C-alpha cells in the first residue's frame, strides 16, 4: 500500500511539474520574463525526487532558465543556472549536456568581458568533447574561443586556432569556413597587411577556382581603397581571367549535360515505342477486365467503409459516454462537497483583506502583481484550491483570472471590469470551461458551483 501511494505521489509531482513547465514555456513570449522564471522555479520545486527522469527534466528546465536570463542580460544569474544544470548532468553522466553547460558558462563570461574565466570554461568543455570524441562540438568550442581572443585584440592567439591553409577548410562546414573568411576580413580592415596577404596568398594557391577568385577580389578591393592604381590594374586582369575560366568551365559542363540528356531521351523514346507496339494487342482486353475489376472493387470498398464507419461511430459514442461517466465520477470523488458554500470565517477573511477591498473599488483591470496577491490569499485561505484547479487542466491566462476572481466571491459584472471583458464574454468563458473540463455542455452558473467547491 505504501509503495502504491509513493508511486501515485511521484506521478502527481511529475504531472504538476509538466503543467508548470508548460505554462512557463508557452508564455515566454507573452509574459514578462520574471513571470516565466517563477513558473520554471515552481516546476523544479515540485520535482523533489532524484530519479533519472526528474534529474533530466531539471537539467532541461535549468538550461532554459539560463537562456532566458541571458536574454535579459542577467549573465551572472544565468551562470548559476547553467552550473546547476552541469551538476545534474554530471550525476546522470550525460557528457553532451555537460559540454553544453560549460560552453554556455563560457559564453556568459565572454559577455561579461572576463576573458580568463571564459577561456577556462571553454577549455573544460573542449577537453570533455575530445574525451567523448564529439568532433563537431570541439570545433564549435574552438571557434568560440577564437572569437573571444579576437574580441580582446589577441589576434595571434586567434590565428593559432585556424588551419595553416584556409582553402583546406571544407566550405560545407559553414561555421569554420565563415570564421576563416571573417578572420581575413578583420586583418584587412585592421590594416594588418602582412597577415591578410599571408592568408590571401595561400587561398590563391588553392585548386578551387572560387577560393582564388575570392582572394583576388579581396586584394582588388584593398588596392582600390589604398589608391594602388597599378596593382588594381593587374588584379582586374586576373579577375577577368578567372571569370572567363569560370564561364568556359560552366559552358563545357552545360554542353556535356545537354548531350547526355539528349542521348538518354533518345534511348527512352525508342524503348517506349517498342513497349507500345508489344502492348497494343492486349490493351483493349486489359481495359475491359480492368473496368470490371474497378466496379467490383469500388462497390466492395464502399460497403466496407460504410460498415466500418458505422462501427467506429458506435464505438466512439460508447467510449465517449464511458469517459464522461468516469470523469464525472472522478470529479465527484475528488470534490464531494460540490454545492457547499464558503464558510463564514473564510468569507470574512477574504472580504476583510486589503486586496479584496482594493479590487472591489478599482476601475482598472487586474495586473500581474494584484493577481499574485490574489493567488497568495487563496493559497492561505484555501490551501487545496490551486492544486485541485490545476488538476482540471491547463488554463489560459484569461481563464485563470476568471476562476480566481470567482473564488474570491466577486460578481460576474465586477469580474468583467477586472479582466477588461464584457459580461457576456465572461459568461461564455465560464460555460466554455465547464465543457472543457467535463466534456459536455453546461451553464456558467454550474461552473461557478464547481469553483466554489474546490
Instruction: Report angle CA 403, 400, 361 to the nearest 5 degrees.
Output: 65
Looking at residue 293, its pLDDT comes to 92
pLDDT of residue 360: 84
**Distance of alpha carbon 402 from alpha carbon 425, whole angstroms:** 11
**Closest by alpha carbon to 387, among 9, 1, 130, 16?**
16
Cell matching residue 319: 467510449
DSSP state of 134: -
d(CA 366, CA 360): 11
> Which is the CATH superfamily of the domain at 2-186?
Tetratricopeptide repeat domain (1.25.40.10)
Residue whose entry in the numeric block shows the C-alpha cell 585548386 = 207
pTM over 0.85: no
Given a contact cutoff of 8 angstroms between Cβ atoms, the answer to whether 185 and 166 are in contact is: no
* Angle between helix 354-361 and 344-351 (nearest 10): 60
* pLDDT for residue 296: 92
Q: Which residues of the chain have pLDDT under 50?
A: 1-10, 26-30, 165, 167, 335-342
Phi, psi of 73 (to 5 degrees): 65, 25
227: left (phi over 0), alpha (psi -120 to 50) or beta: left
Cβ neighbours of residue 15 under 8 Å, at least 6 residues apart? Answer: 391
Of the candidates 424, 422, 444, 421, the one whose C-alpha atom is nearest the C-alpha of residue 432 is 444
Q: At what angle do helices 397-408 and 368-381 cross, to 10 degrees?
A: 50
Residue 1 pLDDT: 40
Q: In the prediction, which pLDDT does 336 show?
A: 43
Identify the residue whose cell numbers are 511529475. 14
Cell of 440: 459536455
Do residues 407 and 400 touch, judged by C-beta distance below 8 A? no
CB atoms within 10 A of CB 242: 18
- Residue 10: its pLDDT value, please? 45
Question: Torsion angle of alpha carbons 77, 79, 83, 84, nearest 10°?
Answer: 20
Amino acid at each position: 500500500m505504501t509503495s502504491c501511494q509513493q508511486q501515485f505521489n511521484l506521478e502527481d509531482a511529475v504531472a504538476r511539474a509538466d503543467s508548470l513547465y508548460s505554462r512557463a514555456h508557452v508564455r515566454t513570449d507573452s509574459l514578462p520574463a520574471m513571470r516565466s522564471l517563477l513558473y520554471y522555479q515552481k516546476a523544479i520545486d515540485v520535482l523533489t525526487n532524484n530519479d533519472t527522469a526528474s534529474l533530466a527534466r531539471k537539467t532541461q528546465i535549468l538550461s532554459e532558465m539560463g537562456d532566458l536570463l541571458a536574454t535579459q542580460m542577467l549573465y551572472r544569474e544565468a551562470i548559476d543556472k547553467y552550473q546547476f544544470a552541469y551538476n545534474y548532468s554530471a550525476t546522470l553522466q550525460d557528457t553532451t549536456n555537460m559540454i553544453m553547460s560549460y560552453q554556455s558558462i563560457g559564453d556568459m563570461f565572454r559577455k561579461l568581458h572576463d576573458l580568463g574565466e571564459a577561456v577556462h570554461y571553454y577549455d573544460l568543455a573542449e577537453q570533455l568533447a575530445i574525451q567523448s570524441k564529439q568532433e563537431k562540438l570541439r570545433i564549435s568550442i574552438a571557434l568560440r574561443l577564437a572569437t573571444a581572443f579576437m574580441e580582446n585584440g589577441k589576434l595571434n592567439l586567434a590565428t593559432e586556432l585556424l588551419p595553416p591553409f584556409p582553402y583546406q577548410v571544407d566550405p560545407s562546414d559553414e561555421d569554420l569556413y565563415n570564421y576563416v573568411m571573417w578572420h581575413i576580413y578583420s586583418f584587412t580592415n585592421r590594416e594588418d597587411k602582412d597577415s591578410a596577404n599571408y592568408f590571401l596568398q595561400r587561398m590563391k594557391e588553392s585548386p578551387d577556382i572560387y577560393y582564388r577568385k575570392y582572394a583576388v577580389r579581396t586584394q582588388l578591393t584593398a588596392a582600390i581603397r589604398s589608391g594602388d592604381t597599378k596593382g588594381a590594374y593587374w588584379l582586374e586582369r586576373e579577375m577577368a581571367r578567372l571569370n572567363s575560366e569560370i564561364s568556359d568551365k560552366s559552358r563545357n559542363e552545360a554542353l556535356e549535360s545537354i548531350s547526355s540528356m539528349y542521348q538518354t531521351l533518345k534511348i527512352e523514346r525508342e524503348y517506349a515505342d517498342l513497349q507500345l507496339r508489344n502492348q497494343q494487342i492486349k490493351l483493349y482486353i486489359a481495359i475491359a477486365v480492368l473496368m470490371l475489376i474497378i466496379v467490383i472493387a469500388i462497390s466492395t470498398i464502399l460497403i466496407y467503409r460504410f460498415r466500418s464507419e458505422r462501427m467506429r461511430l458506435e464505438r466512439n459514442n460508447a467510449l465517449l459516454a464511458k469517459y464522461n461517466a468516469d470523469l464525472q465520477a472522478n470529479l465527484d470523488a475528488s470534490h464531494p462537497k460540490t454545492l457547499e458554500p464558503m464558510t463564514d470565517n473564510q468569507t470574512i477573511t477574504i472580504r476583510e483583506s486589503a486586496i479584496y477591498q482594493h479590487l472591489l473599488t478599482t476601475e482598472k483591470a487586474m495586473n500581474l502583481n494584484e493577481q499574485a496577491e490574489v493567488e497568495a490569499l487563496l493559497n492561505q485561505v484555501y490551501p487545496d484550491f490551486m492544486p485541485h484547479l490545476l488538476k482540471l487542466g491547463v488554463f489560459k491566462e484569461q481563464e485563470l483570472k476568471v476562476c480566481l476572481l470567482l473564488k474570491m466571491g466577486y460578481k460576474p459584472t465586477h469580474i468583467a471590469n477586472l479582466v477588461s471583458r464584457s459580461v457576456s464574454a465572461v459568461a461564455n468563458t465560464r460555460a466554455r470551461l465547464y465543457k472543457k473540463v467535463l466534456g459536455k455542455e453546461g451553464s456558467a452558473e454550474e461552473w461557478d458551483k464547481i469553483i466554489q467547491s474546490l
